[in-house]
Chains A and B, each alone.
Chain A
């Protein structure tokens, strides 16, 4: 029992709080100096923002028919990129999960490589692959595939590590080999997670593939780059609106599929 108190409990750790605050302030100020933050310039150029927004509020609807083709290409790129990445991620995750009795050394090396892949943003991957394969959707698909692979395999192997070991032991004691254990003991427990992560990766890839074209990796981004360099914000607005509609539609569909799955 707490004895009768007439005052509110005292907060502890004031010193710690203030040192943290001071450190944060030092970091902020140093960063601001390094990056030449100049809010005055921002306020000076508010007129420019007004101009851009004004242009964007009057979209050039005739541009819709031109960008529909590249839009479809963007969706195709996202589908293929996600599919290739997810396809690779499936056996990979089954191998590297710590409870799957694979070779310890090999699987930790593979996990390390996967973590490295995951640190590189998609757009950087795409920039590298455009340099390798030339301008076009192929570079974008490869970049999306690698990104989806990293993401799906990380999420998927972590859910494999949390499965119930009971069915595996039951199969083992009845003499099943490793493939049979996978097929009847592991996969039925995690397959719905897998589809969930694939859909999640697909949603992210749709968003990402919209800008991949900006650096020459195919899809609607090429037109975005064109409209921006021509300072046609009315067209930029059309492209952003179309991307927004597609993203909302895809999110809706994938949520429906997800409800069916889980």
Chain B
């Protein structure tokens, strides 16, 4: 006994799709030059394995402020301040991009365009520009995260504003509430938990971003990482990556728990 054959109707379509995907693939492959690969790659891999299995434990805590824990704390601080800044900045953008009754469509679509333009702007470029303004260091990283996250948070905020239930607003108005009552008893109780939940989600991403800001000199753990990479100090690289992994995992767990309690 055999299983029934799949329906034949879409054969031609499937074959065409496969051919198109293959053509794209071949086109992509043909254009990449692979001659840049170092002949020493294998030795490098061996020394990486050697370094990663014997991380530089002495770097974890030296008490001078230039060790792993101090820099991870600094990275976390950058992420916290950047996220708080962007969540405040995103509120007006969110209301701008949200479609609401009795408003011209051009308003909300212009807001949506602006927030998607900000989303495209790579965070690293923002960091480099803020470095030009305030000098290298953590503050430039905070500003980059604060501005860069507007694109994503404003999108989320505007979506939850659009999805807001108008029932409570009408009830408050029907019971004789004024505008302030509407804000405090209908709008905020609905929006605050959602906004907080999105902000926490963005915070998880910001922690990851904050670890790479140092690659361009905007503070945090990325700076010693790029030095260790350039010096091929794989034991140092190993301990830094380990630190990042642990920090990101712990933050994800805490923030996930908090978000569960919010929603």
Contact = CB atoms under 8 A, between A and B. Distances in A.
Contacts of B32: 73, 76-77, 80, 137-138, 141
Interface string A63-82: 00000000011011101100
Interface string B210-244: 01100110010010011001101000010001001
B233 to A, nearest CB: 10
Nearest to A115: B249
Interface string A32-67: 101111100110011011001000000000000000
Contacts of A116: 245, 249
Given A119-B248, A124-B241, A210 B80 contact: no
Interface stretch (A95-103, A155-163, A240-248): A240-248
Contacts of A2: none
B134 A45 contact: yes
B259 interface: no
B37 interface: yes
B241 A120 contact: yes
Interface stretch (B100-108, B135-143, B155-163): B135-143
B194 interface: no
Contacts of B219: 35
A215 B50 CA distance: 24
Contact of A38 (B37, B80, B139): B139
Given A34-B77, A121-B212, A42 B134 contact: yes
A165 interface: no
A22 interface: no
Classify the secondary structure of A's interface with B.
Answer: helix
A124 B84 contact: no
B122 A35 contact: no
Nearest to A117: B245
Given A121-B212, A127-B215, A80 B29 contact: yes
B174 interface: no
Contacts of A141: 32
Contacts of A46: 133
A124 B80 contact: no
Interface string A237-255: 0001001100110000000
Given A120-B245, A123-B124, A123-B215, A128 B133 contact: no
A37 B185 contact: no
A92 interface: no
Classify the secondary structure of B's interface with A.
Answer: helix
Contacts of B201: none
A8 interface: yes
Interface string A118-148: 0111011001101111111110010000000
Interface string B172-192: 000000000100010000000
Contacts of B81: 28, 31-32, 35, 37
B37 A121 contact: no
B110 interface: no
Contacts of B27: 76
B103 to A, nearest CB: 25
Contact of A48 (B37, B78, B132, B232): B132
Nearest to A140: B32
Interface of A: 8, 27-28, 30-32, 34-38, 41-42, 45-46, 48-49, 52, 72-73, 75-77, 79-80, 83, 115-116, 119-121, 123-124, 127-128, 130-138, 141, 174-176, 180, 184, 207, 210-211, 214-215, 224, 228, 236, 240, 243-244, 247-248
24 contacts: A27-B80, A36-B137, A41-B139, A42-B134, A42-B143, A46-B133, A49-B133, A73-B32, A80-B25, A83-B28, A119-B245, A121-B211, A124-B212, A131-B232, A132-B44, A133-B37, A211-B124, A214-B124, A224-B125, A236-B125, A243-B120, A243-B122, A248-B116, A248-B120
Q: Which 5 A-B pairs have the closest CB atoms?
A: A136-B36, A31-B77, A35-B138, A134-B38, A119-B248
Interface of B: 1, 3, 24-25, 27-29, 31-34, 36-38, 41, 44-45, 48, 73-74, 76-78, 80-81, 84, 116-117, 120-122, 124-125, 128-129, 132-135, 137-139, 141-143, 181, 185, 208-209, 211-212, 215-216, 219, 222, 225-226, 229-230, 232, 237, 241, 244-245, 248-249, 252
